[in-house]
Amino acid sequence: MNWMKMVRKALGLLVLAVLFSVQARAQASGLVDEWSMGKIYLANGDSLNGKITYHRTEDLIKVVKEDGSVVAYAPVAVRGFEAVDKDGRFRRVFVTHKWNFGNDYSDFLAPAFFEQIAIGKYGLLRRETTVRKDISRDPYYRNMGGYYPAGGYPPGGVPYYVDARQDIFFLLLPNGKVKELRNVKKDLEAIFGKKNGQMKSYIKQNKLKYTSLPDLVKIVNYFGTIS
C-alpha cells in the first residue's frame, strides 16, 4: 500500500514538473500559434502563401515564403489572413479592424488582428490572451497521487500557477466599430435593446448558453436577422 502511494506521489510530482516546464516556455515565447499553410492578404492588394506564425502577444504574423525567406507583418500592413491545418481540413480566418485596445475613454484606434467567428449584420470576433490560473485547489491536480491534503495547498503552502488561454469576444457592429464583450451576456443584452424580449425567448426556446461558442454564434446571427 505504501509502495502504491509512493508511485502515485511520484506521478503527481512529474505532472506538475511538466506543467512548470510548459509554463516557463510559454512565458519565454509569448502566446504563439503556427500553421503549416496559410495565405496573407496585404493592405496594398498583394497576397502571399506560406507557413504562418502568429505572435498573439505582439500582434505580429510571420510567413515563410516558398523561397525560404521570412517576412513579418503588423496589422497595419495586412487586411487579413487565413490559416489552415496540415491536413487542410480546418481553416481559420483572421481580419484586421481598428480597436481602442480596451481603453473606452480614448478615441485613439489602431489596427489589430481578430479571428472571424461569425459574419452577418453583426459579426462575432475573438482574440486570445493568457491568464495566470491557480490550479493548486483544482480537484484533478489536488488528488493527483494524493500527496497533499484535500482542500489544501501543495508542499510549501503556496499556490501553483500555470498560464491558461482565455477567449475575449467582440461584436462587430454594422457601422464597422468593434465592441468588446467584457461580460458577454450582460453586454449583449444591453445591445439587444428593444429586441431583448424576443432574444430571450429565442435563447430559452433553443436552450442556448452564452458560455457555448456554437450557441453564441447562433445568438449573434439571429440578432442580426431580426435587427
Extract the residue ranges of the chain whose pLDDT is less than 50. Answer: 1, 3-29, 145-151
Same domain, 122 and 90: yes
Same domain, 226 and 148: no
Please say whether the dihedral angle defined by the alpha carbons of residues 33, 34, 35 and 37, taken in this order, is positive or negative. positive
pLDDT of residue 14: 37
pLDDT of residue 154: 53
Same domain, 178 and 152: yes
**Residue range(s) defining the domain that contains residue 50:** 2-183
Same domain, 93 and 55: yes
Same domain, 227 and 135: no
Same domain, 86 and 164: yes
Same domain, 166 and 195: no
Q: How many domains does the chain have?
A: 2
Under 8 Å between Cβ of 114 and 170: yes
Q: Which residues contact 143 (CB under 8 A, 6 or more apart)?
A: 150
Same domain, 44 and 107: yes
pLDDT of residue 76: 97
pLDDT of residue 149: 45
Same domain, 136 and 73: yes
pLDDT of residue 140: 59
Domain end point (choices 148, 168, 183): 183
Same domain, 36 and 92: yes
Same domain, 16 and 59: yes
Same domain, 93 and 144: yes
